[in-house]
Structure 1
């Protein structure tokens, strides 16, 4: 029932006013993943997760003529994925559960371009970010109180926000830190509330014992500090406050943290690399192609985004390939790898010198977060954080595109750069 209510609210909000739809969609994906575990994976709930958002996105694209931002490389990659879906899919349901999220995520790039060219996306997203900053830890507290799901141990649960779904938290916390440092007009009480929830979310990340989430947050803060030398002292003070608060409050969460670490001993074992699945799957992938020697599989992949058979063969259980890089190589082949590299280079690497200095302060921490996620994986097939990441990156990069282009036209000079 909760999922149906969420879908109805999203549709009603879209019909009333389409302008805030992209931001509301980001909330929808996060809240949906908070509660989807309560329901069996039936067709209606799959429709609510994929088809309702995809349909609304397409209507939004048509209404605001965003098709003009969809370039050849976008069409080429999406067409290739659809072709593989038709000709080289594994289990149709498993493949669909990964392909549809990827398509939705990629569509957020032209949507982000559209918003970035006419809106202050970071400023507009602030209230939605604050809502998530507060809602995420409250949900986790609720999950522990009522005993929802769990992960490494019974000592601490993140509810249905497990594994890669937690990657949304460091993104939200990082943005909250940016808002706290740059908004001079914010009410003091609200600032205290924001900083308090930044601390609480950071504590939740520690308790979850997810190394990737901690690395994402740490990397984002460090890169942000490098691009914000004027705010360096404020950053240092904020980090000092957060670390001090975590140390002082350690007795409050010590037992839960120790319980988590006890169940996940490999975190404390520096020699565990040889036992790390993501490390092993790279060698298994090479071994697979050495033994099969199938040129078609090397070029075009094996069973699009369905790698459970691979896991059964090499790990003795239905464990899919985790790393997005390995998943792309194995499931879409060298042709797919080439298209993905060309796609993301085109949108997020080429022409970055044109990004405004102010936007670079957020763009580069977020792009590093994106690159970090690709190694442990789950960017493919997840909707909790990838659409948000693509929306923000596109909006930040293309924020000044029309301004630069118009200046070139006024000077009767050709625009030599393309996106």
Structure 2
């Protein structure tokens, strides 16, 4: 019986370390018209089978540390049963349920620094895969054609929007993990990091650039050796300056477009996420029901259900949770995030009083960035959310026996 259990554990660990790469491939397949729907089915099968595999073998171990998460998921599930469109609400909830389950799963699998190293290395293989996908995108004219000039394609980016967030986190965190001896400092990782950094710059996505810049600067400013910061700034400046004439007009155009968009017959000159909050508040006031205030308007189904933005879903995570599950749901969701942070500090202080200060700082920087990114909305960004909850679980789990 012990041998069977060992094999199952080994298989689930390998499966877990492959999940991010598989989801990144599914993100890329989404841009290939003939494979777009297939990618969604494959993603569902891969993620759901992994989570249910854990439910079958390790259910008794999953929620011991995360009872609040279990309560929140049950609360959301019950709300979906009273939705006007039960099937749609349940399908959207199921996506959220799947990626949130990676918090206890990651915590269960990552029990020491050796497990932590394996997980982080599997994350950084995503950067290698991203470079490969960019190469394929440009070779076969696939992906999202982001950078253009005079209607001529400048470069095809394999992924876009929240699908780039993971690369932004990993690029920003690379110096820390090299210093923490998770990755060896060598030419290969420097080249991979530089190529991904350039792809983020060329994407001209403000959020991705802010994520990687913040995490990198946060780590380097508190590092004893600041030479790496100087070297990287010099290299990026040397490479970026020639690209400035191509990037500057596109960046300014995108910046301007953030405050002006069209929704049906309405021309709106306001930042979309700010407008969404006002419309959601108006929707609550119009319903004038204490039940709506407490339990939300429509669980995980904001399209056509608030204001005049029609098919535009709510982009702010916290506003989306408020709309979907009311003040009760928002309180539980925020408290769950606070509880994640408290669990890390509790275990860090209990087990690792002599651990590297960098380890604590990098978790704090990741946690802060995740909260900030939540305000621009990514509740449906499955790959990114799997990464976030896996990282949270890994950092808390590794705390049990950090060496």
Give the structure 2 partner of residue 377 of structure 1: 377
Contact 1:300 1:334 in 2 (8 A): yes
Contact 1:325 1:375 in 2 (8 A): yes
* Structure 2: gaps of 5 or more residues: 1-6, 260-267
* Structure 1: gaps of 5 or more residues: 1-12, 404-419
What is the alpha-carbon root mean square deviation over aligned residues? 3.1
1:302, CA displacement in angstroms?
Answer: 2.1
1:254-313 C-alpha deviation (Å, 9 max, x unpaired): 3542353254142899xxx972101221122222222232322222112222212146x3
Give the structure 1 partner of residue 308 of structure 2: 314
State how far apart, in whole Å, the 2-side matches of 1:255 and 1:214 are. 18
Contact 1:274 1:280 in 2 (8 A): no
State how far apart, in whole Å, the 1-side matches of 2:28 and 2:255 are. 27
Contact 2:145 2:156 in 1 (8 A): yes
State how far apart, in whole Å, the 2-side matches of 1:104 and 1:49 are. 11
State how far apart, in whole Å, the 1-side matches of 2:47 and 2:392 are. 20
Contact 1:261 1:267 in 2 (8 A): no
State how far apart, in whole Å, the 1-side matches of 2:97 and 2:49 are. 12
The one of 172, 181, 192 equivalent to 1:183 is 181
Q: With structure 2 as the length reference, what TM-score do the two structures score? A: 0.82
Name the CA shift for 1:258/1:192 in 2 (closer, same or farther; >3 Å): same
Give the structure 1 partner of residue 47 of structure 2: 53
1:334, CA displacement in angstroms?
Answer: 0.8
1:132-181 C-alpha deviation (Å, 9 max, x unpaired): 12221332343245333536653566656221111111122134222333
Give the structure 1 partner of residue 391 of structure 2: 392
Worse-superposed segment, 365-374 or 136-145: 136-145
State how far apart, in whole Å, the 1-side matches of 2:279 and 2:154 are. 33
Q: Report SS of the residue matched to 1:349.
A: helix
The answer to whether the aligner puts 1:344 opposite 2:334 as a matched pair is no
1:214, CA displacement in angstroms?
Answer: 1.8
Give the structure 2 partner of residue 140 of structure 1: 134
State how far apart, in whole Å, the 2-side matches of 1:185 and 1:116 are. 17
Name the CA shift for 1:92/1:71 in 2 (closer, same or farther; >3 Å): same
Q: With structure 1 as the length reference, what TM-score do the two structures score? A: 0.79
Contact 2:168 2:211 in 1 (8 A): yes
State how far apart, in whole Å, the 2-side matches of 1:360 and 1:348 are. 11
Q: How many residues align?
A: 375
The one of 244, 250, 255 equivalent to 1:260 is 250
